[in-house]
Structure 1
């Protein structure tokens, strides 16, 4: 395991443990932070996740004679999006209907699924051996994504999240990390995992990280999109990522 993966793993764990303590306390500063973070996340989806998914779709056909279409991995990504959307929809519906006991039970299920999500993301980082400057930009985008997810869960049930939830999410990172170091899965399986979490990540970014109109600071959002995209595309051009 490279030093880059170790640093990213520790950073991701710390984010879940201390995310809400690191966010700015002022409302305007917090809105700008989330707008900038949302800009980075959207840029990350379009300049890294989708192109990588396309490349993996081409690669995976080399390992199986049964994959004859050009969209199998996109279907897996769609399943990931559907599952995570369904879980979050059920939890929010129970909250709106005032079924507090049911909502809290469902929130535990949501925490467990996000723990699994974190484990799969962590495993993907290790298995893809992201190194050097690429690791910095990958880690920056994913780290801000984790911060937004942690804050969203914290806002729903602060007591559960602070008491247990954040440790479950951090444990997910650790489990994926350990699994990635000790287990080598077939390339097709690794690609399917990447496709599944890509769908879930696209949902979380576009539905939950983009700030609502009344809370968005568009100039800061635009700066996040343009700066991350420009730098990443330049590095792709020079270093052939």
Structure 2
């Protein structure tokens, strides 16, 4: 059985989750360097967890959104295989946009100077704000749809929060590597604020259209897919398959249990 929330409690629950995610953003550097917990273990565990989330929850959720999109368009256009691909094209657009921004960051991000005491040299300011801006939208969408997630299933929303929390800790590492000068000064705070703004907008203008939610979920899903495989599947030198497997099995088991209870 599942626990569904009314509008008021779901908005308050979404605020609590937004605050927790903000704290994870701001504390990410300390979390990654916890004593007695090697970063390769936390990265691999988070990677396994995130991959399980992608295959067992995110992709089925996007497929469900495709059904909502088909129903919304049924009175406008005749169902065709191309219409059936529409939601996945939105997800592909999200994936491609974030990949393009990642390539820009690799070319124009802050560059390390020469010598053992050299400091990072700031790269293109425009690329920094464009790249950070994409993550601001990313965070906004997560908390903008959180109250709706809580209303449709508390357990799934909590599992989503766990996945996103660990995900934030590792995407923080990637942004800090690209922009060690500017991200430390302003990036983390801006990302935390975006989470609160997303919640505030949802509290004032709650998403009510199933079609809108499906499109936003697909766009968010495409970007999550890229970030999961880029940040949370580290190279063999910095990863542990055992910890990856633990994360994958634990999260898969939790999702399976929640899905069985919902049925």
- Scaled by the length of structure 2, the TM-score of the pair is 0.84
1:86 lines up with 2:100 in the alignment: yes
Structure 2: stretches of 5+ with no match in the other structure: 1-7, 114-120
Corresponding residue SS for 2:67: helix
Computed over aligned residues only, the root mean square deviation of the Cα atoms, in angstroms, reads 2.2
1:40 lines up with 2:49 in the alignment: yes
- Kindly report structure 1 stretches of 4+ aligned residues shifted beyond 6 Å: 96-99
**What is the distance in 2 between the residues matched to 1:77 and 1:98?**
34
**1:147 aligned residue (169, 187, 193):** 169
Q: Would you tell me which structure has more helix in proportion to its own residues? A: 1
1:183 lines up with 2:192 in the alignment: no
**What is the distance in 1 between the residues matched to 2:144 and 2:61?**
16
Aligned match of 1:123: 144
Verify the 8 A CA contact 1:49 1:198 in the aligned structure 2. Answer: yes
Corresponding residue SS for 1:162: helix
**What is the distance in 2 between the residues matched to 1:103 and 1:36?**
34
- The alpha-carbon deviation at position 43 of structure 1 amounts to 0.6
Verify the 8 A CA contact 2:139 2:195 in the aligned structure 1. Answer: yes
Verify the 8 A CA contact 1:43 1:225 in the aligned structure 2. Answer: yes
Verify the 8 A CA contact 1:76 1:196 in the aligned structure 2. Answer: yes
**What is the distance in 1 between the residues matched to 2:198 and 2:163?**
18
1:61 lines up with 2:70 in the alignment: yes
- The alpha-carbon deviation at position 56 of structure 1 amounts to 1.3
Verify the 8 A CA contact 1:92 1:103 in the aligned structure 2. Answer: no
Aligned match of 2:223: 200
Corresponding residue SS for 1:61: helix
Verify the 8 A CA contact 1:36 1:222 in the aligned structure 2. Answer: yes
- Scaled by the length of structure 1, the TM-score of the pair is 0.91
**What is the distance in 2 between the residues matched to 1:184 and 1:135?**
17
